[in-house]
Amino acid sequence: MWGGRFAEGPAAVMREINASLPFDKRLWQQDIAGSKAHVAMLATQKIVTEADAAAIREGLDTIAGEYRTQGVPIDLALEDIHMATEGRLAELIGAPAGRLHTARSRNDQVATDFKLWVRDAIDAVDAGLAAFQAALVTRAGEHAASVMPGFTHLQVAQPVTLGHHLMAYYEMVSRDRSRFADARARLNLSPLGSAALAGTGFPIDRDMTAQALGFDGPTRNSLDSVSDRDFALDYLMAATQLSLHLSRLAEEFIIWASQPYNFVKLPDSYSTGSSIMPQKRNPDAAELVRGHAGRIAGCMTALVMTMKGLPLAYSKDMQDDKPPVFEAHDLLALSIAAMTGMVESCDFVAPRLRQAAEAGFSTATDLADWLVRVADIPFREAHHITGTAVKLAEREGLALDKLPIDALKAIDERIDERVYAALSVDASVASRASFGGTAPDQVRARIAEARAALGLEE
């Protein structure tokens, strides 16, 4: 299609390094939609005749049907999806096919196609995340008052509720959805009509094509339009951030499912067995979600490096924009679906979670707080008294609330029987009723807000 000035055809290696059709065939729907919007505008502006436009439109519909039922045929000589479709159009309708590319370049064409693809990808991710959040709030609702150890440094710190812990992930995913929504709003201007780099001399109507493709309007600088891949990077950066969140939950599931923890039983449907150790149930899905985060971040890095230092406007390096976005999107979709499935169908072992919360002197802070509140002891001194009590409990092999009152009084005579009411894990979580705290009533209030935001029933 560009052979006019060439005496020789490309070398086989040139053909291979140049071709993007093997991967950009994924843009076929967006490419046909873009071409249909373009040709409708060309006809309205009388740049092509109605008859030619009708033939082109019909041909494009035929091609869409072929692609849908038979897939996109791969002929490396055709280079990319844009030329493959135009070539097929020429086979189908002859000469009028040559008028489709009037007032257009593959540079604005691919930018338009890819934006449309990323926009659809964002919508798919958002739908997946809404389902993931629904799973989180549902399980959190079941466990709003289920006590478990809260950790810092992976050391037992203070009791929290499992509902509170799960809702932490709801919050992370809310930020992820907001990042994807930002990316979507920012990308939604149409590059079509920017042509190769400088705009076009034909009397095109860019508002018309923008509107037909669901964009908010046309982009404002043709050089930027054909060289901008911010939208792909925005997607990859939001995807990376999300994959980090998914990897943290995956990691917790892996740890929690390990026998010494036994906090959760992952469903059989998301586990695998071992070929030599019959007792094994491996959390492979969670491990792969953890692993995929690395690959998704790698895709993001790949495109960052591709774009670094590129002079304006289009350079062929930019053809390498698509594989990392496609790869990251496929990995992300699988990761979201797998985590949603695990959250929906795992069994949390509530008695074991409670037992673990009761071990490790998780209510030591509550003893110190009680000494401050009831006995009016300065916090630093209360901290020291509590440390002595923990040391004694450890030596005696007792939980804090099982230490006899005489032993506590021997440590500090200002302690009395009322302290026991503060030392249970239930009293501990119930007391943390500050906004956003782990008290079951607080957790239930956050769950109710989340359910309303997701449009779920009370």
Query: Which spans of this chain sit near ligand ARG (rule: CB under 6 A)?
Result: 20, 24, 80, 106-107, 110, 314, 316, 318-319
Looking at the Cβ atoms of 10 and 291, the one nearer to ligand ARG is 10
How far is Cα of residue 146 from the mean position of the Cα atoms in its chain?
Answer: 28
Cα 299 from Cα 321, distance rounded (Å)? 10
CB of 192 vs ligand ARG, minimal distance in Å: 13
CB of 345 vs ligand ARG, minimal distance in Å: 41
SS3 for 7?
Answer: coil
Q: What is the dihedral of CA 104, 110, 116, 122, to 10 degrees?
A: -160
| Angle, CA of 319, 323 and 328, to the nearest 5° | 140
Residue 153 structure tokens: 């440094």
Looking at the Cβ atoms of 67 and 314, the one nearer to ligand ARG is 314
Looking at the Cβ atoms of 110 and 162, the one nearer to ligand ARG is 110
Looking at the Cβ atoms of 52 and 80, the one nearer to ligand ARG is 80
Looking at the Cβ atoms of 106 and 329, the one nearer to ligand ARG is 106
Sign of torsion over alpha carbons 19, 20, 23, 28? negative
Pairing of strands 147-152, 155-161: antiparallel
Looking at the Cβ atoms of 101 and 444, the one nearer to ligand ARG is 101
CB of 239 vs ligand ARG, minimal distance in Å: 20
Residues 6+ apart with CB under 8 A from 101: 86
| Angle, CA of 416, 422 and 423, to the nearest 5° | 95
* Per-residue b or e along 14-41, where b marks 16 or more CB atoms closer than 10 Å to that residue's CB: eeeebbbbebbbbbbebbbbbbbbbbbb
CB of 314 vs ligand ARG, minimal distance in Å: 6
Active-site residues, by number, are 153, 274
CB of 323 vs ligand ARG, minimal distance in Å: 11
Looking at the Cβ atoms of 80 and 228, the one nearer to ligand ARG is 80
Looking at the Cβ atoms of 106 and 292, the one nearer to ligand ARG is 106
Could you give the C-alpha distances from 276 to 118, 266, 280, in angstroms and in order?
44, 20, 9
Looking at the Cβ atoms of 321 and 401, the one nearer to ligand ARG is 321
Cα 39 from Cα 90, distance rounded (Å)? 15
CB of 316 vs ligand ARG, minimal distance in Å: 6
Quick count: other Cβ atoms within 10 Å of Cβ 251? 16
CB 283 within 8 A of CB 247: no
Cα 337 from Cα 340, distance rounded (Å)? 5
CB 432 within 8 A of CB 418: no
CB 61 within 8 A of CB 53: no
- Phi and psi for 157 in degrees, rounded to 5? -110, -70
Cα 321 from Cα 176, distance rounded (Å)? 22
Residues 6+ apart with CB under 8 A from 455: none
CB of 37 vs ligand ARG, minimal distance in Å: 18
Nearest to 300 by CA among 397, 228, 347, 234: 234
CB of 109 vs ligand ARG, minimal distance in Å: 7
CB of 128 vs ligand ARG, minimal distance in Å: 27
